[in-house]
Structure formats: C-alpha cells, structure tokens
Structure 1
C-alpha cells in the first residue's frame, strides 16, 4: 500500500537583490501543507540562518523522534501496556567536509515513558526495539540511530499549548542556550560585515594565558576574541604550562593528517596568503581606505596582516618575534575609523573570505572573529 504526502517550501528571504552575495539574502523558508498550516524555517546559525526558526536538521530529527513516539504507542497498545506520558529527546551529528558537502552521520533517541502500572516496566522497555524497527522515518535514513531509553523522572507538568505554527501543538519549554557573541556599544551594525583588526589585542596565546591566570592577574580586561574551538577546556593545562613543558607535546604528537589548530584546518599559510592578497587588491582601489595605508609599502602591509592572522589562529609566531605586541588600536588611532570606514573594510574582507571557499563552519568561525574585530576598531562616530 502506498501513501502520498505533499507540502510546499517557499523561500521568503529576498531582500531586494536576490542571491547577489552570501550576505545579501536571508535563509527564511516557509513550509506549507494543507491542514496543519505553516512552519517557519531557515538554515542553522552556523550557515547564516535564523536560529528562531526551524532548520532542516531539526526538522529531520523531529520527524525521527515523532515517528518513534507514534510507533511505540502503537506497540504499547497492542501489548496491553498503558502509557500515560512519553517524551523523546533526540541528538544528531552533522558532519561537513572541506568541500562544503554535509550529511547526518548519527542520531540518538532517548525516550522516557510513564506507565499506569510500573509492574509492566520491563515489558514496556522491550517495546522500543520493535517500535524502532517499524518506524517509517528510521527505515528511510542511511545513518545509524541509537536507542537509549531513560528511566522516567517525576511526571512532567502538563504541556503548554501553542498555535503559532498554524495548529494547536504541545511545545516543551526550550532549555536556555548560550547567547551569541555580540559587540555592544556600537551603532549601525552593518548587515554586510568584514573585520577590522584590533591593535590593542594580545596574541591568541597571550589571551589564553591571561584568562587562565584569573581576573586578578589582568589589568583592564580586553575583549576575549578567541574562537570557541581554540579555547582550552576547563581544567586543561594553560598555555604557560605547555610552554614550560615542551616534552609533553613531543610525547603526544597529533595523529597523522589531523589538524591541531584552526590555522592548519583551513589550509595553513596558503589560505591566509590568499585572504590578505585579495583583501589588499581591493583596499588599494578604495578611495576611503587607501589613504590610510603607506603607498610605498603595500607589500609590507599585506605581509604584516598575514603574519598577524596566521599567529592568531595558531600558526607561526613570526609576527610577535618581528614586531612584538600587536597594539592594533594604538596604531590605528592617528586615523579616523568611523562606521563608513568599518563597513568599507568589511566589504573588502568579505570578498577575501568568500574567495577561500572554506567549509561553512570554518567560514562562520573566521567571520565571527573578523566582524567583532571590525566593530572594536571604530574610534569616531
């Protein structure tokens, strides 16, 4: 027996210029089906989406969790097991390769079931396997799904109901998530952004060491611009500890072919050389920015920016060895860096970043740093 299902997905993110650039359109999509109404969709935040909307990965996992729930209730009814409540938490892993292609590679279902009679618990737990076997969505996936039934907690409160998606549905309260990084105190945040380097920022390693030393060891907190993937875990050895024990690194080399820093993960020197080359090719032609640079030393300016970025992202420490502390803000003070200069800088850096063809998550991490750095350099309204 065959059943047909249909819906319509409509892109609603055109901001007037279509897909003229990666930052020129929103990823907003509206899903429409006869009966239930509409669902507001987007891509994940890592892919320039709106995190207040459902992304495709969440919808896929939601379909899997919902299908398991319904299949389980069917088997419970057939077995005479009276279920009085059920929740299914689901976690999925998305892997994106260097070419930008991605795929879901694994998912874990964590169902909790409440029963009218706890004497049926063992029988109830045994129903998850046949429920998963018969789940339409699970049978349609090409990645493994792990079942990890959980002991039920105290019966949850009755769910709240909402019609915001077009039909009454029970919605669980979302757990608070970490707020996205923000730059405060800045006006006219641009929608198209590119970074300006801060002169008063210490090197990446110095920032880690300063943070590890604690607030009392720092005089005047500077913004922490280290990306999450480069920050040490709680309790991990500090940068100073590792520097003092070089033999530790030698005794535990990285696995062959595995990147040990963002610098290596994105392609090393060649990537940052391409970034700064394209950036300065455009800056030279910009009537607003070009006067801020030494016209007899364009190559030197390009090299200095490359060395700074390479060191910041875990590459050679040549910049510090040649020039000491970056002190970017101090070096930019003689120049008027207003919102127009910031936006021009960001436009050219956006072009440079786009030329790299980085994997989406790498591009998002690099751009997040560059954008915040650009905002921090503004010294004039």
Structure 2
C-alpha cells in the first residue's frame, strides 16, 4: 500500500519552504502596511519561519532542534498588536508568493496549506494582543496534515 506523503514532502521539501519565506519576506519589507512591523527582524527570521512551517507540515525538526518550540513562536507575537488588516495582507502576500514559486496547486494541498496559514495567522493576531497565554512551554509543535481539524477554537 502506498504511503501518503506529508505536506512537507508533497511541497518539495526544505528548499521550497526556504524559497517561499525568502521571497515572501522581500515583499513584506516592500509593503507599506507590513514593513514597519518586520523592518527590524533578525537576518535569520526567514529561515526560522521556513523551518517552523516545514516542521508543522511533517518535515524535519529543524526549528525545534535549533531551540524553538510552539511556545517560543507564540511568544514572539506578544504585544505586537497585529490587526486583522495586517493578517489579511500577510496571508495575501504569502499566497501570492506560493503561486509565484509554483507551490503545488492541487486542491488538496492548497486546501491544507491555506487552512494552516489561516489558522496560524489568526492565532498570531490573538497572541499579539496579549503578553500572556496559558500554554505550557513544552507544548508539542502543531502537526498539520491533509485535512484534519482540531475542532472548534478554545482559548
């Protein structure tokens, strides 16, 4: 029986996620709405985000092995005061970039990809408007697949 590939494998592996985030953050730094938020990001920010998304999509644990965790990613958003307008622009630029690098366009992959981006960015907005969450520091990284849902959101 043929094994279903992870989203990470289907997308093309780490080089694809690194290309996605590199090209995406170039756009972010040229965007009037998002540039003020990201203009001081660390030089390795794009790579960290690539490794985080790749790990969530079933790839290697590069983000975790570099000392990151779901909690540390969430904490990076504290007190950033992101708005729905920021979130929508971030998503639009990321999806535009996904098309440009020809991330797989099949409905199943794109549905899973967009679902994660929507979920993650909405969580980021919520967490950006607080300075505390009730989440254990060693909470496991989310794992995203081909359509599983976590049920209704529960803060």
Distance 2:23 2:32 in 1: 17
TM-superposed CA distance for 1:326, in Å, is 2.9
Instruction: List runs of 5+ in structure 1 lacking aligned partners.
Output: 1-253
TM-superposed CA distance for 1:274, in Å, is 2.4
Aligned equivalent of 1:333, options 63, 75, 78: 78
Structure number with larger C-alpha Rg: 1
Change (3 A) 1:368 1:377: same
Aligned equivalent of 1:291, options 31, 36, 40: 36
Distance 2:38 2:125 in 1: 17
Higher helix proportion (structure 1 or 2): 2
The answer for the alignment partner of 1:363 in structure 2 is 110
| Alpha-carbon contact 1:353-1:363 (below 8 Å) kept | no
Higher strand proportion (structure 1 or 2): 1
| Alpha-carbon contact 1:259-1:265 (below 8 Å) kept | no
The answer for the alignment partner of 1:348 in structure 2 is 93
| Alpha-carbon contact 1:278-1:351 (below 8 Å) kept | no
Give me the TM-score of the superposition, normalised by structure 2: 0.69
TM-superposed CA distance for 1:309, in Å, is 0.8
TM-superposed CA distance for 1:308, in Å, is 0.3
Task: Look up the SS of the partner of 2:31 in the other structure.
Answer: coil
The answer for the alignment partner of 1:314 in structure 2 is 58
TM-superposed CA distance for 1:360, in Å, is 2.3
Kindly indicate whether structure 1 or structure 2 has the higher relative contact order, using CA contacts under 8 Å at least 6 residues apart: 2
Instruction: List runs of 5+ in structure 2 lacking aligned partners.
Output: 130-155
Per-residue displacement from partner, 1:192-239 (whole Å, max 9, x unpaired)? xxxxxxxxxxxxxxxxxxxxxxxxxxxxxxxxxxxxxxxxxxxxxxxx
Distance 1:375 1:296 in 2: 20
Aligned equivalent of 1:270, options 2, 12, 15: 15
Change (3 A) 1:276 1:361: same
Task: Look up the SS of the partner of 1:315 in the other structure.
Answer: coil
Give me the TM-score of the superposition, normalised by structure 1: 0.30
Change (3 A) 1:288 1:263: same
| Alpha-carbon contact 2:24-2:97 (below 8 Å) kept | yes
Change (3 A) 1:274 1:375: same
Change (3 A) 1:265 1:296: closer
TM-superposed CA distance for 1:294, in Å, is 5.1
TM-superposed CA distance for 1:295, in Å, is 3.4
Distance 2:54 2:76 in 1: 19
Say how many residue pairs are matched.
124
TM-superposed CA distance for 1:285, in Å, is 0.7
Task: Write out the 4+ residue segments of structure 1 that deviate beyond 4 Å after TM superposition.
Answer: none
Aligned equivalent of 1:373, options 100, 120, 137: 120
- 1:187-266 equivalences under 5 Å are 260-266=5-11
Change (3 A) 1:321 1:353: same
Task: Look up the SS of the partner of 1:332 in the other structure.
Answer: coil
Distance 2:70 2:39 in 1: 18
- 1:1-381 equivalences under 5 Å are 260-293=5-38, 295=40, 297=42, 299-327=43-71, 328-355=73-100, 356-358=102-104, 359-379=106-126, 380=129
